[in-house]
Amino acid sequence: MNQLQLFLPCAAGVEDFLAQEVHGLTGLAGDDLMASRGGVFVRGSWRDAMKLNLYSRLAQRVLIELAHAPYRSENDLYAIASGVAWEIWFTPQQTFKIETTAQHSPLTSLNFATLRIKDAIADRFRAKAHGVRPSIETQRPDVRVFAHLTTDSCTLYIDTSGEPLFKRGWRQDTGDAPLKETLAAAMLAASGWWNPETGAVSAAPLYDPCCGSGTIAIEAAQIGLGIPAGALRRFGFEKLLPFQPHVWESIQNEAADQPATVSPPIFGSDVSHRMVDFAERNAERAGVAEAIQFRGGDALQRMPPEGAPQGGVIVLNPPYGERIEVGGVARIGAREQAATEDGGEFFSQLASHWKKNYAGWTAWMLTPDLQLPKRMRLKESRRVPMWNGPIECRLFRFDMVAGSARAPRP
Ligand SMILES: C[S@@+](CC[C@H](N)C(=O)[O-])C[C@H]1O[C@@H](n2cnc3c(N)ncnc32)[C@H](O)[C@@H]1O
């Protein structure tokens, strides 16, 4: 299992940060590590695959490539899947699920393509295991197979993660628009607060003034305290045949033996006290309650946290598509309030509040609203493209230098 071809999918825009993270975690480089659109190819060992599952904050999954071949029809897919030695990965007593994605595939039905791959796997097991074949289970399968089809090539992967890696195991209380943990980590990487290659964090205090269920703050605190992203969860590889519990235990022990680190001060606040409650409970589960101060309050009124007199870094995904009333009462999901869908005056007031009270701070805001700097009457000093699922976003950086934040030219 030394030279596995791994693929780690990630949100578009995050590939280079993920490649840095993989390099830092495994030491792999050169031909063994290649960023591509939507993910990173890694040539590594089974141990690397387990380590990446445990530590990576940016990967959505760790997949092992088992076949890559040209195809033109569903019958070709059947032949490609029949040629894979599935029996070295799982047993016919286990359940499995196939997920197919496609980019410009000429096939008319992805369902039928998936069915042919499923038939090939079942038939191969039937032939090898005296008539016994694994069954399909779509909700909680033991094993997940991924098929990716392009115009002319089919790639088959077996998954080692199980539930996607953004599910860290601590976020049980959420609001309406929680940010994926992987994207929160990507924002921290893009802001420079966290260096995904070395694992180092900046000494600057971090503040999310619209913290919702606390994802950004909790992710930051876990990084600051050196808690592995997957410390609280199980992984798909535990159900695969090559799994050796003692090797996994040694990886977990290594993680537990890391010297404790101290996190810089981290703060979160939200206008909704219910959200603050959720954030506190999530932080408790994530083992970082001591490292974060959560408060209630309107972002338009909150002054810089007392523990950050010299400034710091603001990181947030602000409300979007919500009605924000005077006094900061947000009615989440009130889509019928079309007149205020753009946040109305909220963003220009936020910018004025920051210019007046947050001199010396740098703010990073993730939004699908490309007009946000104009709405804030601020000129961004950086814009990083990032995708939140299918939604194209920008992470804007604003530097709060008192009196000098420039308005964009009309
Ligand atoms: C897009 S959500 C943030 C989600 C958060 N990152 C998470 O992962 O849960 C925006 C948050 O802004 C909060 N909000 C809306 N108006 C606000 C205001 N004026 N001041 C502070 N927070 C506000 C909402 O309550 C909501 O929790």
Tokens of 214: 């606390």
Position in ligand 1 atom list of the atom nearest CA 316: 6
Q: Is the CB of 319 under 6 A from ligand 1?
A: yes
Q: Is the CB of 225 under 6 A from ligand 1?
A: no
Nearest Cα to Cα of residue 141 among 166, 114, 120, 161: 161
Position in ligand 1 atom list of the atom nearest CA 298: 20
Q: Is the CB of 212 under 6 A from ligand 1?
A: yes
Domains of the chain with CATH codes: 4-159 (3.30.2130.30), 181-226+261-399 (3.40.50.150)
pLDDT per residue over 285-298, tens digit each?
999 999 999 999 99
Strand pairing class (63-70; 153-159)? antiparallel
User: Could you write out the DSSP letters of every residue in 35-90?
Assistant: EETTEEEEEE-HHHHHHHHHH-SS-S--EEEEEEEE-SSHHHHHHHHHTS-GGGT-
The predicted pLDDT at position 104 comes to 95
Return the axis-axis angle of helices 181-190 and 215-225, rounded to nearest 10°. 70
Ligand 1 mutation target, pool 173, 266, 271, most atoms within 8 A of CB: 271
Q: Is the CB of 219 under 6 A from ligand 1?
A: no
Compute the distance from residue 366 Cα to the ligand 1 centre, in Å.
12
Q: Is the CB of 210 under 6 A from ligand 1?
A: yes
* Prediction pTM value: 0.93
pLDDT per residue over 339-383, tens digit each?
334 566 899 999 999 999 999 999 999 999 999 999 999 999 999
Q: Is the CB of 179 under 6 A from ligand 1?
A: yes
Q: Is the CB of 289 under 6 A from ligand 1?
A: no
The predicted pLDDT at position 298 comes to 96
Beta bridge partners of 8: 40
State the pLDDT confidence band at 72, using cuts at 50, 70 and 90. Answer: very high
Compute the distance from residue 210 Cα to the ligand 1 centre, in Å.
4
**Could you give the dihedral angle defined by the CA atoms of residues 196, 197, 201 and 206, in that order, rounded to the nearest 10 degrees?**
-20
On the question of pLDDT at 403 being above 70, the answer is no
Strand order, beta sheet including 313-316: 292-296, 266-270, 206-208, 313-316, 362-367, 391-399, 382-388
Position in ligand 1 atom list of the atom nearest CA 299: 20
Q: Is the CB of 369 under 6 A from ligand 1?
A: no
State the pLDDT confidence band at 283, using cuts at 50, 70 and 90. Answer: very high
CA distance 22 to 7: 11
The predicted pLDDT at position 329 comes to 53
Q: How confident is the model over 3-27, as a mean pLDDT?
A: 97
Highest mean pLDDT among 125-134, 339-348, 381-390: 381-390
The predicted pLDDT at position 176 comes to 76
Q: Is the CB of 321 under 6 A from ligand 1?
A: no
The predicted pLDDT at position 334 comes to 40
State the pLDDT confidence band at 103, using cuts at 50, 70 and 90. Answer: very high
CA distance 19 to 33: 7
